[in-house]
Structure 1
Amino acid sequence: MPQARTFRRDPDDVMRLARMGCSHPTRLSFLRQLLRRMQSEGWGFDRPVWDIDAQGVGRAVYRAVGPVRTYSLVAFAHDLPDHQRSDRVIATAWDATFALFDGTPDADDLDRLAVNVPLQEAGRVTPNELSLSRANRSVRLFDHVVESLAREQQPNADMLLETGYLMRTTAVYGSGKFGAADRAAIVERPEMRAPFQAEMLSVWLTRSFTVDLVEHLARARGGANAARLAPELKRGLGVGNSTGLGMAPFLVRHPVLLNNWMLAREEALARVRAQEVVGEAEFAGFLEALRAAQDNALLWASAHPIQRAKLADLRDGLARTMAHVTERWDRCSTYPWDNLWRWGQTSLSLEGQEALLAAMLEPHGDLIDGLGDCMDADEEAHFPIDGAMRVGDLRAILRTHYAWALDVDFEARANTARFWYISEDKLEPRLGERFDEPGAERELPLDTGRQAAALWRALEGKPGDMPVAHLILAHPEHRPALRRAQIIGRHPFAEIRDNLIAADMLPIDLLRCKLAFFGATRFDPRSDRWVRISLFQGAPYPEMMTGRVRDA
């Protein structure tokens, strides 16, 4: 009897850092969810405040008006000397600073925000604000665009494509930081239920501000005849972002949320693979997605050796896929999408496989978009430990989900070479070298593999029917590992199945996985610990949506 097909990937394969570090944005990415909702619900947009002088200093307000609520990006433009411009988190001044306001701010709100928002961490906002952010100009390109428009010319298209943004954010804070509203205050709102919707809205409106600012400065310099940025060039611009280790531990600290992100994507892939035919519309959409991925991959550039190798793999994988799809793929076979996927697993690198996944999902919106509603998580509901669980059941979970960790020699220096800690300067996560740097005594509990292996050893000789409460009463140090084991027993994609303190662990893999779920493109690592990316590149602007932008 032939073996039944299975369309779902094994978490042991999916949750390895090498694969997670090849993630690509999909139509389930959070910025795509935001754009679809605003488009389908007919949101309106305007700019009720534009008080920017000829030097590009002042304030502006951009409103997004939904069916029930309004959100306003309050932007402050500054005159920043070149020597103060830095992408580092320890910077204290920026070209622009922003807050996403819940509602429409009045004059008093704007004055209060003008005092605090430019200070960022040194200031304080209130629960009326949903996010706090800042951005710096991409100086060479920004100045080139202003000069070109002022001379009634369009900027060099190749320069715009090379960089891809006029400004890049260096932090977008939300979820209660520095006094802003906690996520719990907004999570029941339909438009905010998906993860990071407030932050994505802030960045999307920031994109409009960056274009408005260069056009304003061009008019101030060149007069009323200054050109406006051509629509096709404008759409090719996103918002850059520089980010580093500060976001890396997020995926470890939020296991249920990680599970739901990965599970939604894996369910989407399984649904596509289970389709018995390839419709003409789906085939055309798939080819369009592949071509767009090839064009996008040509825009990526990096001097980092790891990323250069991955870029080569990506471009090669996309070329192989296009050749296979157009010349050899039998679209009339049984389960053609599954056959294509199985070909990719044997013929493509990890970069190529994950790019194929994103392209396969793209034309199947009706089939998979609803999965976006499953990507949030009530993590508090899964925090309590079940003390009645039997030791035998716990052993079974550890064997099933932590086999990758149980045989690791955590006495070997290479397997414990790193430690995670919080920096004193900015209270941000950092990664230290255990045998070369001080501070390991303040290590964060992100060594999930080592903890699971220690819990496994603690179970030796314990009767299988013993409640785990007895173990934890005697050895409370194993509570975190027990909690994670119980979570992963119900959420198989909750754990990264790699040693996060090993000498060869690449933090950039954590960053890329999370940023791909945001919807980021053009990954440009500057080391294995920080990266520049672009958000909303190619996406519509407010005036291209259902509503219109109306200047004050």
Structure 2
Amino acid sequence: MEAQTQTRIERRDPANVMRLSRLGSFHQCRLSFMRQLTRRMARENWSFSRPVFDIDDTGVGTAVYTAQGPDRAYSLVAFAHDLPPEKRSDRVIADAWDATFALFDGIPTKADIERLSKNVPLQEAGRVSETELSLSRANRSVRLWEHVVDALAAGQQPDLNQIYQVGYLMRTTAVYGSGKFGAADREKVADRPETQAPFQVEMLSVYLTRTFVRDLVQHMAAVKGGDHTAKLDPDIARWLGIGNSTGLGMAPFIVNHPVLFNNWVMAREEALARVRSVEIASPAEIDKFQELFQRSQLSISWWRSEHPIQVSKLADLNADLHAISSYLATKGLAEAYPWDALINWSETALSEEGQEYLASLILEPYEDLVDGLASCMADSRSEAFVIDGKMPIEQIRELIRDTHDWALDLDWAAPENCARAWYVSEEKLEPRMGERFEEPIEDYEQPLAPARDASAAYSALSDWEDTKTVAEFLLRHPEHRHTIRRAQVARTAPYGEIRDNTISDKVLPIDMLRAKLSFFGATHFDPRSDRWVRICMYSGAPYPEELTSENADLWVYPQATA
């Protein structure tokens, strides 16, 4: 039955959506970048090959995995290393890894592979060229790796419970794209259909990396077990995702890219508004929601964390699942505007973790309403950053109030409101956050406190006549250019500004990390501190040889195995 849209439910207020506690409760959804990629590859019937797999008995060597789309090919060039345990670290300051990778634009020649072999294993210390689209590295999850190798070598399958608890055999510690270390700039691929959506290069790199890791663990088991080695059961292999350790380097991204981040959040909010506007849910749509609600609970049962913040959120989420079950059993979804009623109920009955889980889940039965919004998630509007100098002072004041009214009365000299400062580390050129009053970092502070800057600009505007122009103001106060630009950008990017203090003594950078990673499609967020988090990617996804239109999308929701 085709979805009916009668009364239009508006998008949620940015003032509520863009609070860090809510952004830090986002979940993957139909618009997640991984699912966009797998749907496209299946729809376009991409083909996959492994032209090179030259790995020796110590697990050292080279492999190449090629993905051929309708117009061009992409190849993951993988280098496996024999890493001593004492060298294995998820820290960005590490200088050696179990495996290193580059995503090559096309099919590499022997000369290309030779060149990459001298640079990719060095990561930051090496250099790649514009024929490389991304650079990455990964380390083994040692306990699970050894268990899988030993089990297969003994002719047995690995223990599914151990796989559920960990979720991956390797975790990436960085996947660099967009021009880092000499790799191709975003502009090179931005107009290609398959990479027009955000982060498709990086998602393809991780997807192929997962296949390499599966093949490598099978190879190492065969080295150990010889003819007795079992082949890893595809139904078990499917639940081996790729882990990721993400730290503060990712957090400033959503501050520094207000238009892009707006497009992500606005697409999700528009999808939610469209589904909430459906007047009558068909039996098939209700059944699909109910099925995926049940399947999602299995995934949540595998979600583990020892961090007190996430432990509390998981307890809330599990309580929310019971509340949702009771709601569905008593009220059901047969009334008019059932999804709007469900979301309205959730806003007072559930935690933010549960509210955002439900906001993602109700999108699933409505691919016709939702999936087309993926084309709106890239940022190609460079003109949005051009300052309108003719704008009168009265209007720019109003724009600042619209996005930062909550910040204008804060005492920005109070220690609790400016306790933290963002800076860039000299050693790794990576963003860091430190304690302003305990470390000598203030002179190196990065402009990652838009709320404080908005308050300062608003104060500087207070003595200006309403009819004066922005151009006149900026001639006298050029230090406020970036704030004026952001305020003007917000006219067409209402979800581009975080409505919280990013330098307070209570800020949790993991909220920023999770907001971004949820759009990647990550699951099982496991904070290791307030500044870095582990996640899982592609758990449940079909491998290249299994990929079809039937399994290309809902793989994120597990089905119980017998």
Q: TM-score, normalised by structure 1?
A: 0.97
- Checking the alignment, whether the CA contact within 8 Å between 2:58 and 2:82 is kept in structure 1 is yes
Contact 1:72 1:104 (8 Å CA) reproduced: yes
Cα distance in 1, alignment partners of residues 152 and 362 from structure 2: 40
Partner residue of 1:457 out of 456, 459, 473: 459
CA distance in 2 between counterparts of 1:355 and 1:233 reads 26
Other-structure match for 1:504: 506
Q: 1:523 aligns with which of 522, 525, 530?
A: 525
Letter of the 1:236 partner, please give it: W
Contact 2:8 2:274 in 1 (8 A): no
Aligned AA (2:77): V
Q: Determine the structure 2 residue equivalent to 1:73.
A: 76
Deviations 1:385-435 (A, max 9, x none): 111011111111122221121111102110000000000110000001001
Alignment partners' CA distance in 1, 2:509 and 2:291:
32
Which letter maps to 1:91?
A
The alpha-carbon deviation at position 283 of structure 1 amounts to 1.1
Residues 1:127 and 2:116 are matched in the alignment: no
Q: CA deviation at 1:289?
A: 2.1
Instruction: From 539, 545, 549, give the equivalent of 1:543.
Output: 545
Distance of 1:415 and 1:289 partners within structure 2: 42
The equivalent of 2:230 in structure 1 is 227
Measured in 2, the distance between the counterparts of 1:128 and 1:86 equals: 29
Does residue 246 in structure 1 map to residue 249 in structure 2? yes
Distance of 2:390 and 2:16 partners within structure 1: 31
The match for 1:437 is 439
Partner of 2:496: 494
Determine if contact 1:44/1:546 at 8 Å carries over to the other structure.
Answer: no
Structure 2 residue matching 1:167: 3-state secondary structure: strand
Determine the C-alpha separation between the residues in 1 that align with 2:481 and 2:70. Answer: 45
Structure 1 residue corresponding to 2:203, chosen from 197, 200, 214: 200
Rounded to whole Å, the distance in 2 between the matches of 1:433 and 1:15 is 25
Q: Distance in 2 between matches of 1:499 and 1:512?
A: 17
Displacement of 1:288 in angstroms is 2.2
Find the partner of 2:296 among 288, 293, 297: 293
Query: Is 1:264–1:371's contact at 8 Å kept on the other side of the alignment?
Result: yes
Cα separation, 2, equivalents of 1:242 and 1:25: 17
- Runs (4 or more) in structure 1 with deviation over 6 Å come to none
For residues 305 and 18 of structure 1, what CA distance do their matches in structure 2 show?
15
Contact 2:9 2:276 in 1 (8 A): no
Counterpart of 2:28?
25
The correspondence for 2:534, drawn from 523, 532, 535, is 532
What is the aligned partner in structure 2 of residue 333 from structure 1? 335
Would you say the 8 A contact 2:278–2:339 is kept in 1?
A: yes
Structure 2 counterparts to residues 163-182 of structure 1, below 5 A = 163-182=166-185
CA contact (8 A) 2:9 2:274 kept: no
**Structure-1 separation of matches of 2:288 and 2:247:** 34
C-alpha contact 1:293 1:318 (8 A) present in aligned 2: no
Provide the C-alpha distance between the structure 1 equivalents of 2:308 and 2:343, rounded to a whole number of angstroms: 29
Q: What's the counterpart of residue 11 of structure 1?
A: 14
- Please point out which of 168, 176, 188 is paired with 2:191: 188
Partner of 1:393: 395
Structure 2 residue 353 is matched with structure 1 residue 362: no
| Residue 379 of structure 1, CA deviation | 4.8
Deviations 1:444-487 (A, max 9, x none): 00110011011111111311111111110001111111010000
Distance 2:442 2:84 in 1: 38
Q: Judge conservation of contact 1:41–1:67 (CA < 8 Å) in 2.
A: yes
Could you tell me which amino acid in structure 2 is paired with residue 422 of structure 1?
Answer: V
* Whole-Å separation in 1 of the counterparts to 2:350 and 2:548: 40
What is the alpha-carbon root mean square deviation over aligned residues? 1.1
Structure 2: gaps of 5 or more residues:
1-6, 550-562
* Cα drift, residue 205 of structure 1: 0.5
Using the alignment, how far apart are the partners of 2:107 and 2:177 within structure 1? 18
Pairwise CA distance, 1:337:
1.1
Look up the match of 1:152.
155
Tell me which moved more, 308-317 or 509-518. Answer: 308-317
For 1:280, the equivalent position in structure 2 comes to 283
Separation (CA, whole Å) in 2 of partners of 1:405 and 1:85? 43
Q: Does 1:143 align with 2:146?
A: yes
Distance in structure 2 (CA, Å) of the matches to 1:178 and 1:101: 14
The CA deviation string for residues 208-228 of structure 1, in whole angstroms up to 9 with x for no partner, is 011101111111111134111
Given candidates 37, 41, 62, the residue that maps to 2:65 is 62
Secondary structure of 1:402 counterpart: helix
1:514-546 deviation line (CA, Å, top 9, x unaligned): 000000001010100001100001111101114
Match of 2:516 in 1: 514
Q: What is aligned with 1:550?
A: none
Residue 403 of structure 1 corresponds to 405
Which digits, 9 at most, give the CA deviation of each residue in 1:44-97, with x for residues without a partner?
A: 001010101111110000010000000000000000011100000000000000
Q: Distance in 2 between matches of 1:379 and 1:450?
A: 26
Q: Structure 2 CA distance, aligned partners of 1:221 and 1:18?
A: 48
CA positional deviation for 1:19:
0.3
Report the counterpart of residue 384 of structure 1 in structure 2: 386
* In 2, Cα distance between equivalents of 1:542 and 1:197: 16
Structure 1 counterpart of 2:394, one-letter code:
G
Q: Is the 8 A contact 1:251 1:514 kept in 2?
A: yes
- 2-structure distance, mates of 1:184, 1:288: 41
Aligned equivalents of 1:72, 1:225: Cα separation in 2? 33
What secondary structure, in the 3-state scheme, does the structure 2 residue paired with 1:224 have? Answer: helix
Residues 83, 96 of structure 2: 8 Å contact kept: yes
Give the gaps of 5 or more residues in structure 1.
548-552
- What amino acid is the match of 1:428? E
Q: Distance in 2 between matches of 1:353 and 1:452?
A: 30
Structure 1 position 5, deviation (Å): 6.8
Match of 2:308 among 291, 305, 309: 305
Q: TM-score by structure 2 length? A: 0.95
**2:92 aligned with 1:84:** no
Distance, in Å, in 2 between the alignment partners of 1:281 and 1:58 is 50
Asked whether 1:236 is paired with 2:236, we answer no
User: Counterpart in 1 of 2:52?
Assistant: 49
Alignment coverage as a number of residue pairs: 543
Structure-1 separation of matches of 2:275 and 2:313: 26
The Cα of 1:383 is off from its aligned counterpart by: 1.7
Which amino acid counterpart does residue 172 of structure 2 have in structure 1?
Answer: T
SS of aligned partner of 2:119? helix
Assess if the C-alpha contact under 8 Å between 1:525 and 1:531 holds in 2: yes
- For residue 490 of structure 1, give the secondary structure of its aligned residue in structure 2: coil
Q: Which residue of 1 aligns with 2:560?
A: none
Structure 2 CA distance, aligned partners of 1:414 and 1:469? 34
Aligned residues of 1:389 and 1:468 also touching (Cα < 8 A): yes
The one-letter amino acid of 2:251's match is A
